């Protein structure tokens, strides 16, 4: 796939999930500010959607976490700063569908939650996106019926919050699923971002996660953008952002020329 500025606009954190050694989930975009620490040593595998992936087990209560998280970049549950629109895209490979399995969550130490994306046993693997205005009650956009996550295979989930429209929205495997009204998030202290679980509720995911990309100040991603992320089911990797190696599943950013040379003008014009 050729370079497309639309896919980089507003991108603030990106996790390739390729680290085979070490337990920190490294932010490949800003090199550190949004690195996520581990709990109970989540694993790694070379068998990702693109290259490697991170693995999580329910019984081992594994997840990656950052606390406190600068939620001004996502939903801002802290009293400081304006809440901002956001979007996330990731690939998920669930290995268990019994019960409910959080993929991404934000919550406080006391258990109040801001946003939650999880795979549920309902309808045989429904994916749902929940948002809370007060930390306890919520609205949710969800997939149901035939639009369910498949077990032991890769699925692409795209979700977010459009502040201007006041809606949370959800896509599954490049197909729009649902959107519901959600005007604003609550404000609580001690907020944490978690991938692979919802620590305050002692709820965890089992399976693999790969190619996690976050955007801020992005309203609902249009179908055209989601189609680019889906890429015919191949997905894409934001490989180092500057590369000259073309591949079907990479965004290629051409390097800027060192100078622009204009052709010399003729010294005179001769008319026959």
> What global pTM score does this model have?
0.84
Measure the CA–CA gap between 207 and 57, rounded to whole angstroms: 7
Q: Is residue 211 part of a domain?
A: yes
Measure the CA–CA gap between 104 and 224, rounded to whole angstroms: 24
Q: What is the mean pLDDT of residues 116-125?
A: 86
Number of domains in the chain: 1
Q: For residue 78, give the nearest of 117, 110, 114, 130 by alpha carbon.
A: 114
Measure the CA–CA gap between 185 and 183, rounded to whole angstroms: 7
Residue 188: pLDDT over 70: no
Q: Return the structure tokens found at 220.
A: 């609902």
Residue 150: pLDDT over 50: yes
Q: Is residue 208 part of a domain?
A: yes
Determine the structural domain holding residue 170 and report its residue range. Answer: 5-233
Q: What is the pLDDT of residues 212-263, one digit of tens each?
A: 998 888 889 999 999 999 999 999 887 655 443 444 444 444 444 445 455 6
Measure the CA–CA gap between 233 and 210, rounded to whole angstroms: 14
Residue 197 main-chain phi, psi, to 5 deg: 175, 175
Q: Is residue 177 part of a domain?
A: yes
Q: Return the structure tokens found at 17.
A: 């999930």
Q: Is residue 255 part of a domain?
A: no
- CATH code (residue 29): 2.60.120.200
Residue 232 main-chain phi, psi, to 5 deg: 65, 20
Measure the CA–CA gap between 122 and 103, rounded to whole angstroms: 16
Measure the CA–CA gap between 172 and 156, rounded to whole angstroms: 6
Please, which pLDDT band fits residue 50 given cuts at 50, 70 and 90? very high
Measure the CA–CA gap between 250 and 22, rounded to whole angstroms: 25
Length of the chain: 272
> Is the model more confident about 135 or about 115?
115
Measure the CA–CA gap between 12 and 26, rounded to whole angstroms: 13
Q: Is residue 250 part of a domain?
A: no
């Amino acid at each position: 796939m050729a370079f497309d500025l639309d896919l980089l606009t507003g991108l603030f954190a990106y996790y390739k999930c390729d680290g085979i050694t070490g337990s920190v989930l490294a932010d490949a975009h800003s090199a550190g500010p949004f690195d996520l620490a581990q709990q109970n040593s989540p694993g790694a595998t070379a068998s990702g959607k693109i290259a490697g992936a991170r693995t999580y087990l329910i019984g081992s209560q594994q997840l990656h976490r950052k606390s406190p998280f600068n939620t001004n970049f996502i939903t801002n549950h802290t009293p400081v700063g304006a809440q901002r629109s956001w979007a996330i895209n990731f690939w998920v490979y669930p290995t268990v569908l019994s019960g409910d399995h959080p993929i991404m969550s934000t919550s406080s130490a006391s258990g109040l939650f801001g946003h939650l994306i999880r795979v549920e046993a309902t309808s045989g693997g429904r994916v749902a996106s929940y948002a809370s205005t007060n930390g306890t009650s919520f609205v949710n956009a969800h997939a149901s019926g035939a639009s369910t996550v498949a077990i032991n295979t890769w699925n692409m989930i795209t979700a977010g919050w459009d502040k201007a429209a006041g809606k949370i929205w959800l896509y599954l495997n490049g197909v729009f699923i649902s959107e519901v009204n959600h005007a604003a998030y609550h404000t609580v202290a001690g907020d944490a971002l978690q991938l692979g679980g919802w620590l305050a509720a002692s709820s965890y995911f089992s399976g693999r996660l790969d190619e996690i990309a976050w955007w801020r100040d992005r309203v609902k991603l249009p179908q055209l953008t989601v189609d680019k992320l889906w890429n015919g089911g191949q997905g894409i990797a934001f490989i180092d952002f500057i590369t000259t190696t073309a591949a079907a599943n990479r965004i290629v950013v051409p390097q800027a020329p060192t100078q622009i040379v204009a052709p010399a003008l003729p010294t005179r014009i001769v008319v026959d």
